[in-house]
Chains A and B, each alone.
Chain A
Amino acid sequence: MAEPQAAELVFDHATKRYGDAGDLAVDHLSLTVPAGEICVLVGPSGGGKTTALKLINRLIPLTDGDIRIDGVSINDQDVTQLRRGIGYVIQNVGLFPHQTVEANIGTVPRLYGRDKRWIRARAAELLELVGLDQSYAKRYPGSLSGGQRQRVGLARAIAANPPLLLMDEPFSAIDPIVRARLQDEFLRLQHEVRKTVVFVTHDVDEAIKIGDRIAILREGGKLAQYATPQEILEHPTDDFVAEFVGKDRALKALALRTLDTMPLRRETGDGPRAEKTTTLRDALSLLMTERAQTLVVTDGGQPIGSVTREDILQ
């Protein structure tokens, strides 16, 4: 397709106020999501994260400020055209129960005038991409599990290849095991399709796992911090952020790095072994269970160096 793969998204003092003197739901939010990155909006309820998301596709109108997609203000575009160009996934998926999986996936392409054959081929391609068997094409949403519905919802959202994808707590209603799998698959899929994604969640662990950048919103829709997961865990700007990411933020930060990002000691010697793709958190855990001081780092089973407990803890 000729459409751009991903778009830069800019919040420029975006503000939403309910009523004339009403409460601020989103308060002068300014941030830039570079093209092809996942920005996770996270925060306590009342933080305005869903409101901020819905400002983008104008399901909720801006009170003040601006939002631009690749430099074009959302208010300078026809609202239906704007929405057709933005993938949208919501918590309860919102598949159309009266349409087959294939027809659901074809919703936006059909609005663009694509014919049945095109849609059938596209649906087949997307089912494979989201890890569903082709036999699902002719089934109705009522016969699918929650996880399967969410996969179809994702396929539907990217069917017309939009440069921007909005996901509003997409995995919140799904049980933890399936959720973790969906998160992994979503990251794999994102690696292939490289959309700009805005992802809302209330789960800070999900935010750390999914996000290239995380925007933490506090009550009243104020941006508390906008940074990479690593930065937020290692240098929270204030007590609110520190408390929100949790007391175990040091451990969470360790989980973000793998052994091959460490400067390795040359001596290998004896001791427990771990592949270089192991996270620092798992490496530390291994050292503790083995009551060892030094861990031998391997690459494809071959020792390439070692790290000590102290190395990891620094």
Chain B
Amino acid sequence: MIVAGGPVIPNFGSGSKCETTGGWWCTDWLRSHWGDTLQPALVQHVELSLLAIAIGFVLALGLALVGYRFRLLDGPIGAFSDFLYTIPSLALFQLLVPITGLTETTVEIALVSYTLLILYRNMVAGLQNVPPEALESARGMGLTPLQMFLRVELPLAVPTIVAGLRIATVSTISIATVAAFVIPKGLGRPIFIALQQDLFKTEIIAAGGLCIALALAADILLVFVQRALTPWSRA
């Protein structure tokens, strides 16, 4: 098993009674370690997730265009992203570390791999579900293929694409905790340390809770993005 290198953040030594006896919830620990442990971990977690989703989105969009235009390739591309999705994250890290080392690249490759399936499938489904009569009338009115794509097909696929983006975002934020096995970053880091220190519950609950809150916040944000982008879907 691979264990992350680098210094372990010394979040012990000045333990209160609650900390030393291993209580469920130590508010004083939270207060004294928000700045040096949780907040940086949260920021790193956001960075790791955001980068993975952004790269995954661009990659999936490119693949979806290919899979949509050339139906024959939809199957193979979908199967490949299926395959990536089925590899357990820890196993994928093991496979990647000899190549890309204990780096952020390793983490991002893994996280991006997991976004592809959901994003790709939703993008292709969204494009394929554009009403055929809208396409026929667009063609009949003399829109060029590019105009049809940008003005009709892509906008009408947005609800399905954003639905995929929401799932991919929530799952990426969750999976990104495993990054702590490779690099000392993200909300997985305090959880990982707390597990090693006799199950320090406050830290696990706090970091885990932050992870959940982050996922929920991102999901809600995307709901608003979708509403802003598709005022017509509520008509």
A binds B: yes
Contact (Cβ within 8 A) B235 A80: no
Name the residue among B135, B136, B137 with the largest chain A CB count within 10 angstroms.
B137
Residues of A within 8 A of B138 (CB): 94, 96, 107
Contact (Cβ within 8 A) A93 B133: yes
Closest B residue, CB atoms, query A141: B235
Give Cα A108 to B143, complex, Å.
8
Q: How many residues of B contact A (CB 8 A)?
A: 24
In-complex Cβ contact of B142 among A81, A100, A142, A156 (8 A) = A81
Residues of A within 8 A of B137 (CB): 88, 90, 93-96, 153
Residues of B within 8 A of A156 (CB): 141
Give Cα A82 to B143, complex, Å.
11
Contact (Cβ within 8 A) A108 B142: yes
Query: Separation in Å of the B127 CB from the closest CB of chain A?
Result: 14
Residues of B within 8 A of A140 (CB): 231-232, 235
> Digit string of A61-103 for contact with B (CB within 8 Å is 1, else 0)?
0000000000000000001111111101011111111111000
Give Cα A127 to B183, complex, Å.
63
Give Cα A166 to B139, complex, Å.
13
Does A139 interact with chain B (Cβ within 8 Å)? Answer: yes
Give Cα A156 to B141, complex, Å.
9
Contact (Cβ within 8 A) A97 B133: no
**Docked complex: B145-193 residues within 8 A CB-CB of A:** 147, 151-152, 155-156, 158
**Docked complex: B56-112 residues within 8 A CB-CB of A:** none
Name the residue among B133, B137, B141, B151 with the largest chain A CB count within 10 angstroms.
B141
Residues of A within 8 A of B155 (CB): 98
Contact (Cβ within 8 A) B134 A95: yes
Contact (Cβ within 8 A) A111 B143: yes
Does B15 interact with chain A (Cβ within 8 Å)? Answer: no
Quick one: given A80-B144, A83-B141, A84-B141, are A94 and B230 in contact (CB under 8 Å)?
no
Closest A residue, CB atoms, query B140: A88
Does A135 interact with chain B (Cβ within 8 Å)? Answer: no
Q: How many residues of A contact B (CB 8 A)?
A: 33
Query: Separation in Å of the A80 CB from the closest CB of chain B?
Result: 4
Quick one: given A142-B235, A143-B235, are A57 and B134 in contact (CB under 8 Å)?
no
Residues of B within 8 A of A96 (CB): 134, 137-138, 151-152, 156
Query: Separation in Å of the B138 CB from the closest CB of chain A?
Result: 7
Does A59 interact with chain B (Cβ within 8 Å)? Answer: yes
Residues of B within 8 A of A83 (CB): 139-142
Query: Separation in Å of the B151 CB from the closest CB of chain A?
Result: 8
Give Cα A79 to B141, complex, Å.
10
Residues of A within 8 A of B209 (CB): none
Residues of B within 8 A of A81 (CB): 142
Residues of A within 8 A of B40 (CB): none
Residues of B within 8 A of A139 (CB): 235
Give Cα A57 to B140, complex, Å.
7
Give Cα A82 to B211, complex, Å.
57
Give Cα A243 to B138, complex, Å.
38
**Docked complex: A116-142 residues within 8 A CB-CB of B:** 139-142
Give Cα A98 to B229, complex, Å.
10
Give Cα A119 to B178, complex, Å.
54
Name the residue among B144, B156, B230, B235 with the largest chain A CB count within 10 angstroms.
B235
Enumerate the 4 nearest inter-chain pairs by beta-carbon distance, A residue then B residue, closest first: A94-B137, A83-B142, A140-B235, A84-B142
7 further contact pairs, Cβ within 8 A, besides A80-B143, A96-B156:
A88-B141, A94-B131, A94-B133, A100-B232, A111-B143, A142-B235, A166-B140
A contacts, CB < 8 Å to B: 57, 59, 79-86, 88, 90-100, 107-108, 111, 139-143, 153, 156, 166
18 contacts between A and B (CB under 8 A): A79-B142, A80-B142, A81-B142, A82-B142, A83-B140, A83-B141, A84-B141, A88-B137, A94-B136, A94-B137, A94-B138, A96-B134, A98-B158, A98-B232, A100-B232, A107-B143, A111-B141, A153-B137
B contacts, CB < 8 Å to A: 131, 133-144, 147, 151-152, 155-156, 158, 230-233, 235
